[in-house]
Structure 1
Amino acid sequence: MSVCQKETADIAVIGLAVMGQNLILNMLEKGFVVCVYNRTISKVDDFIANEGKGLRVIGAHCLSELAVVLKKPRRIMVMVKAGQPVDAMISNILPFLEKDDIIIDGGNSEYTDTSRRCTELKEKGIRFVGCGVSGGEEGARHGPSLMPGGSPEAWPYIKDIFQAIAAKVDNESCCDWVGENGAGHFVKMVHNGIEYGDMQLIAEAYSLLKDGADLTHDEMAEVFAEWNKGPLDSYLIEITSHILKFKDENKQTLLPNIRDAAGQKGTGKWTGIVALNYGVPLTLIGEAVFARCLSSLKDDRVAAAKVLPGPNPDKAGIVGDRRAFCEHIRKALYASKIISYAQGFMLLAEANRVFNWNLNFGAIALMWRGGCIIRSRFLGEIKKAFDTNPRLSNLLMDTFFLNAIKKCQ
């Protein structure tokens, strides 16, 4: 059954796509014994023979084998496509579980589905956790941001594993208990919405620097690199600098040759819909979602550009003082980022009021400081703001952010 079949496993992971595999390797690296299962059995054998070769990993060819090798209460992390596949896998697992066993959904599930599953499984004596996982493939392998929520009774049994594999900032794990029912996936949804906002703001700053200041891509790369040394220090600003100066095999700047049509997986849209349902003015994130929708209308935009090409200023229309213009853009970007996060935390606060989740906003900011796409120095200031005043109604009312906005006006 495995290279390690006499051992019992600390946790099982179901689903051997890239995210599942990398989480498994992360767990193994931290000293945990992991049982792996995939619906396509050959993937289990391939993983054991290759990525997991020589490691303390147990391969299960069926769910009954998986249940037998797990320590009790069993801890099973499901890494399959969100929606019906999660429900189907839960139904398949249930016959092999006992009271107080734990199922963890690590996919991008809607928080309403997670709340429903918590209720349904509680009636069967099973503890359910919906865990937001951020950081992509690299994060999963080397330290993601983890946002678990659901059955609070499950947390003591998964805490050690999750906090061990999560990213660390200042020796603190970017993982903590979020709240009951769908709280974890709700927080992950808002995280993704904020990510949409951050990326749209960067895109607009790029457009202004290119068309307003007539900067080359190499010059813009230097501007973003310089911005990354200050309050805008973040993963997205850093990689934007790298992307801007990236050259193809012909030594030409790659970015202008990339199709200007952004895709989306839906979590940003969910954030906007929830904000509308709760009456929260999530304006910046909402516009970021619509910008992606607009960008995807590539054929329509190309056709429209032929009859309405838009302004095409000569060099006299370019700003004179580039340095001053870049500083204006930096301030606008920073102020907009503050507003986006303030709106995101407003939505979290409203959900907290509606569902009585007892969210710790400072802890949430800490969870996002490492491992995830929106990781930044900025989040440390958000944590300080909520640590100073846990009842803070709006980030813009915190002294640090209030002064920052004033300086950007």
Structure 2
Amino acid sequence: MKIQAINGFKDILPDSVVRWQHIEQRARDIFERFGMQEIRMPILEKTELFVRSIGEATDVVEKEMYTFADKGITMRPEATASIMRAFIEHGLHVQQPVQRLYTIGPMFRHERPQKGRLRQFHQLDAEIIGAVEAQVDAELIAMGQMLLDELGLSVSLELNSLGCPVCRPPFKERLVVYLERISTGLCEDCRRRTHTNPLRVLDCKKPTCRELAQDAPSLLEALCPDCDRHFHEVEEALTRLGIGFSRNRFMVRGLDYYTRTTFEFLTTDLGAQAAVGAGGRYDGLIEQLGGPALPGIGFAMGMERIALLLEQQGDAGLPAVGADIFLAALGPETIAPCSLLAHLLRREGVRAAMDYSSRSLKAQLKQANRQNARFTLIVGTDELARQQGTLRNMASQEQRPVDLSGSAAEQCQRLLRVLRA
């Protein structure tokens, strides 16, 4: 019996890794343009961290976390809570009042695997801590939009506001009254949520619940003056930056810590409308976790979904991957000098590949093609005796002689001039 990967966990094979590296490199480049710094946290955290931050009545905590109950630890289901824990534990606000942090890595949720979303999935996560201004919300959203634009992906941006502790409680009371009136038509989860997490009913994906929720009261119409002003300032700032958006009063997100601005980047290229990235403001979270009363805003993007979108559009924009030169050593006595030359080329930053089995020229040229080599240096017994190899351009098929006299270091320098021309 063959041992296979666990359902919902997936290997990322070498031909896909180049796509992932491209996403990561582009993300790091753009994040650092905005003054972000990378932070790395452990995969395991105390379960209490996620219960207190995400919310005990959320689907994530109730159904989806990988928790070792006897140890009181959980495999992280998202990154924001872990970043906040590290921020508080190490007093990062003392070093700098506004912290701009990002992380890239795996998250874990025990939910039904779906296209672009597995039980081990990977996220790009960016957070700005310590800034309350609406312009900061717009800047963070603009950073996410810039990343998706530079990756060549087409998405739509939707916005909402979830208010604050002043305006949300009275709105929830009005919403519960409405939901109780239509409860017989709601799904079992939404009937349960009516009294534990009523806002989540607005975000239910089941058609019957969505239809019944159409006439539900809107939080956008119940915002306090401060939240209303903040939301309009975010919209004005995004318009000023040339970023298109639409309002979605049903967007509530699945985590309890969100306040005010929430947003999603959506695509229809993965079948049903799917979120590529999402986030929002969480002004009370840090204090709730025992830290200072500082505001924050952040987002996460799903790398699996981004990688799927890149693959679907033919990986346009991905850098060429392959060897700069393949050394075809034909005969046992050519192995040692070719391996030394390959080593010296690698020390100079050249991607050099080689086969040590002395196979035929035809077989080695096939291997060079499989490795997308730009050039192949052909060195047989006769070439070695004449101190002259043959350099083949694998794209044009043109060949030229190469002087192999002198030391290996001298040969290396002559080859470098050709490769870098």
TM-score tier after normalising by the smaller chain length: under 0.3
**Structure with the higher fraction of residues in strand conformation:** 2
Which of 1 and 2 has greater Rg?
A: 2
**Structure with the higher fraction of residues in helix conformation:** 1
